[in-house]
Protein backbone atom coordinates (compact mmCIF):
# COMPACT_ATOMS: atom_id res chain seq x y z
CA UNK A 1 0.00 0.00 0.00
CA UNK A 2 1.31 3.44 -0.92
CA UNK A 3 1.64 6.34 1.48
CA UNK A 4 0.72 10.02 1.16
CA UNK A 5 1.74 12.59 3.78
CA UNK A 6 -0.37 15.72 4.14
CA UNK A 7 0.21 18.97 5.93
CA UNK A 8 -2.94 19.99 7.84
CA UNK A 9 -3.54 23.75 7.86
CA UNK A 10 -4.04 25.09 4.35
CA UNK A 11 -4.28 21.60 2.85
CA UNK A 12 -7.17 19.89 4.65
CA UNK A 13 -8.54 22.83 6.60
CA UNK A 14 -8.70 26.56 6.04
CA UNK A 15 -5.46 28.39 6.85
CA UNK A 16 -6.49 31.32 9.01
CA UNK A 17 -3.09 32.93 9.47
CA UNK A 18 -3.84 32.76 13.18
CA UNK A 19 -3.56 29.26 14.61
CA UNK A 20 -6.62 27.01 14.69
CA UNK A 21 -7.15 27.23 18.45
CA UNK A 22 -10.42 25.35 18.92
CA UNK A 23 -12.58 22.75 17.18
CA UNK A 24 -14.96 25.54 16.14
CA UNK A 25 -12.13 27.21 14.21
CA UNK A 26 -11.30 24.02 12.29
CA UNK A 27 -13.09 24.30 8.94
CA UNK A 28 -12.43 21.82 6.15
CA UNK A 29 -11.46 23.21 2.75
CA UNK A 30 -14.19 22.39 0.27
CA UNK A 31 -13.46 19.03 -1.35
CA UNK A 32 -10.50 18.16 0.89
CA UNK A 33 -12.25 15.45 2.91
CA UNK A 34 -13.53 13.78 -0.24
CA UNK A 35 -10.00 14.00 -1.69
CA UNK A 36 -8.68 11.98 1.25
CA UNK A 37 -11.44 9.42 0.63
CA UNK A 38 -10.40 9.15 -3.05
CA UNK A 39 -6.80 8.58 -1.99
CA UNK A 40 -7.89 5.88 0.48
CA UNK A 41 -10.08 4.14 -2.10
CA UNK A 42 -7.16 4.11 -4.55
CA UNK A 43 -5.07 2.26 -1.95
CA UNK A 44 -3.14 5.10 -0.33
CA UNK A 45 -2.45 5.23 3.39
CA UNK A 46 -2.80 8.86 4.49
CA UNK A 47 -1.05 10.48 7.45
CA UNK A 48 -0.66 14.09 8.52
CA UNK A 49 2.56 15.92 9.43
CA UNK A 50 1.82 19.33 10.95
CA UNK A 51 3.68 22.04 12.83
CA UNK A 52 1.59 23.12 15.83
CA UNK A 53 3.66 25.81 17.53
CA UNK A 54 0.50 27.12 19.18
CA UNK A 55 1.14 24.45 21.82
CA UNK A 56 4.55 25.91 22.70
CA UNK A 57 3.11 29.41 22.69
CA UNK A 58 0.24 28.35 24.98
CA UNK A 59 -2.44 29.37 22.45
CA UNK A 60 -4.09 25.99 23.06
CA UNK A 61 -3.29 22.82 24.97
CA UNK A 62 -2.91 19.18 23.97
CA UNK A 63 -6.49 18.38 25.02
CA UNK A 64 -7.78 21.06 22.65
CA UNK A 65 -5.52 19.82 19.84
CA UNK A 66 -6.90 16.31 20.38
CA UNK A 67 -10.46 17.69 20.14
CA UNK A 68 -9.58 19.50 16.91
CA UNK A 69 -8.21 16.27 15.46
CA UNK A 70 -11.24 14.32 16.71
CA UNK A 71 -13.50 16.73 14.81
CA UNK A 72 -11.36 16.32 11.70
CA UNK A 73 -11.42 12.51 11.98
CA UNK A 74 -15.19 12.53 12.54
CA UNK A 75 -15.77 14.63 9.42
CA UNK A 76 -13.38 12.45 7.42
CA UNK A 77 -15.26 9.36 8.56
CA UNK A 78 -18.56 10.86 7.42
CA UNK A 79 -17.28 10.80 3.82
CA UNK A 80 -15.59 7.41 4.10
CA UNK A 81 -12.08 8.78 4.55
CA UNK A 82 -9.38 7.71 6.98
CA UNK A 83 -6.28 9.54 8.17
CA UNK A 84 -4.25 6.80 9.80
CA UNK A 85 -2.25 9.05 12.12
CA UNK A 86 -1.52 12.69 12.90
CA UNK A 87 2.12 13.49 13.61
CA UNK A 88 2.78 16.96 14.98
CA UNK A 89 5.61 19.15 16.15
CA UNK A 90 4.61 21.03 19.32
CA UNK A 91 7.64 23.34 19.30
CA UNK A 92 8.15 26.97 18.31
CA UNK A 93 10.78 28.10 15.79
CA UNK A 94 13.05 29.32 18.58
CA UNK A 95 13.18 25.86 20.17
CA UNK A 96 15.51 24.57 17.47
CA UNK A 97 14.00 21.08 17.44
CA UNK A 98 14.52 18.55 14.66
CA UNK A 99 10.81 17.81 14.18
CA UNK A 100 9.64 21.26 13.07
CA UNK A 101 9.32 21.49 9.31
CA UNK A 102 11.36 22.42 7.23
CA UNK A 103 13.63 20.04 9.14
CA UNK A 104 12.88 16.43 8.25
CA UNK A 105 12.50 14.98 11.76
CA UNK A 106 8.71 14.70 11.69
CA UNK A 107 8.77 12.93 8.33
CA UNK A 108 11.60 10.65 9.46
CA UNK A 109 9.50 9.77 12.52
CA UNK A 110 6.66 8.79 10.18
CA UNK A 111 9.05 6.62 8.18
CA UNK A 112 10.33 4.94 11.33
CA UNK A 113 6.95 4.34 12.95
CA UNK A 114 5.33 3.05 9.77
CA UNK A 115 8.48 1.15 8.77
CA UNK A 116 8.29 2.67 5.29
CA UNK A 117 11.00 4.47 3.34
CA UNK A 118 9.98 7.92 2.15
CA UNK A 119 11.67 7.76 -1.25
CA UNK A 120 9.23 9.40 -3.68
CA UNK A 121 6.38 9.36 -1.13
CA UNK A 122 4.13 12.35 -1.95
CA UNK A 123 4.23 15.08 0.71
CA UNK A 124 1.44 17.58 0.01
CA UNK A 125 1.79 20.95 1.67
CA UNK A 126 1.05 24.62 1.19
CA UNK A 127 4.40 26.15 2.12
CA UNK A 128 8.11 26.02 1.46
CA UNK A 129 8.52 24.43 4.89
CA UNK A 130 6.66 21.39 3.56
CA UNK A 131 8.59 21.34 0.29
CA UNK A 132 11.95 21.56 2.03
CA UNK A 133 11.07 18.90 4.61
CA UNK A 134 10.03 16.56 1.79
CA UNK A 135 13.23 17.22 -0.14
CA UNK A 136 15.39 16.66 2.95
CA UNK A 137 14.22 13.07 3.29
CA UNK A 138 13.79 12.07 -0.34
CA UNK A 139 10.01 12.43 -0.43
CA UNK A 140 8.15 13.92 -3.41
CA UNK A 141 7.19 17.54 -2.70
CA UNK A 142 3.77 18.68 -3.92
CA UNK A 143 2.66 22.25 -3.30
CA UNK A 144 -1.00 23.30 -3.16
CA UNK A 145 -2.24 26.87 -3.47
CA UNK A 146 -5.19 26.48 -1.09
CA UNK A 147 -3.37 27.64 2.02
CA UNK A 148 -0.77 30.24 1.12
CA UNK A 149 -1.28 31.30 -2.48
CA UNK A 150 1.57 33.80 -2.20
CA UNK A 151 4.07 30.96 -1.66
CA UNK A 152 3.35 29.62 -5.13
CA UNK A 153 3.75 32.89 -7.00
CA UNK A 154 7.52 32.68 -7.03
CA UNK A 155 9.45 30.85 -9.72
CA UNK A 156 9.34 27.18 -8.84
CA UNK A 157 11.99 24.56 -9.53
CA UNK A 158 11.01 21.96 -12.12
CA UNK A 159 10.77 19.18 -9.54
CA UNK A 160 7.91 20.85 -7.64
CA UNK A 161 4.41 19.86 -8.66
CA UNK A 162 1.81 22.55 -7.99
CA UNK A 163 -1.97 22.11 -7.80
CA UNK A 164 -4.84 24.39 -6.84
CA UNK A 165 -5.78 22.29 -3.82
CA UNK A 166 -5.74 18.85 -2.26
CA UNK A 167 -8.60 17.69 -4.48
CA UNK A 168 -6.59 18.39 -7.64
CA UNK A 169 -3.41 16.85 -6.20
CA UNK A 170 -5.31 13.74 -5.08
CA UNK A 171 -6.90 13.35 -8.50
CA UNK A 172 -3.46 13.50 -10.13
CA UNK A 173 -2.04 10.90 -7.72
CA UNK A 174 -4.99 8.56 -8.22
CA UNK A 175 -4.74 8.86 -12.01
CA UNK A 176 -1.00 8.24 -11.84
CA UNK A 177 -1.52 5.16 -9.67
CA UNK A 178 -4.14 3.82 -12.04
CA UNK A 179 -1.74 4.37 -14.94
CA UNK A 180 -3.90 6.85 -16.81
**Which residues does the annotation mark as catalytic?**
7, 9
Q: Exposed e or buried b for every residue in 12-26, given b needs 16+ CB within 10 A?
A: bbbbeeeebbebeeb
Nearest to 45 by CA among 110, 134, 137: 110
Cβ–Cβ under 8 Å, residues 69 and 107: no
CB burial of residue 30 (10 Å; 0-12, 13-18, 19+): exposed
Which residues touch 164 (CB under 8 Å, ≥6 apart)? 144, 145, 146
By CB neighbour count within 10 A (0-12 exposed, 13-18 middle, 19+ buried), where does 73 fall? middle
Amino acid sequence: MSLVILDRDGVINVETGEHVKSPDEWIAIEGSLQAVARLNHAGFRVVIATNQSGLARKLFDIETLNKIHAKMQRQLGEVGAVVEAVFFCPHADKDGCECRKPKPGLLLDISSRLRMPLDDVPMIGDSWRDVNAARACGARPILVRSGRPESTHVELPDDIEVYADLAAAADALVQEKLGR
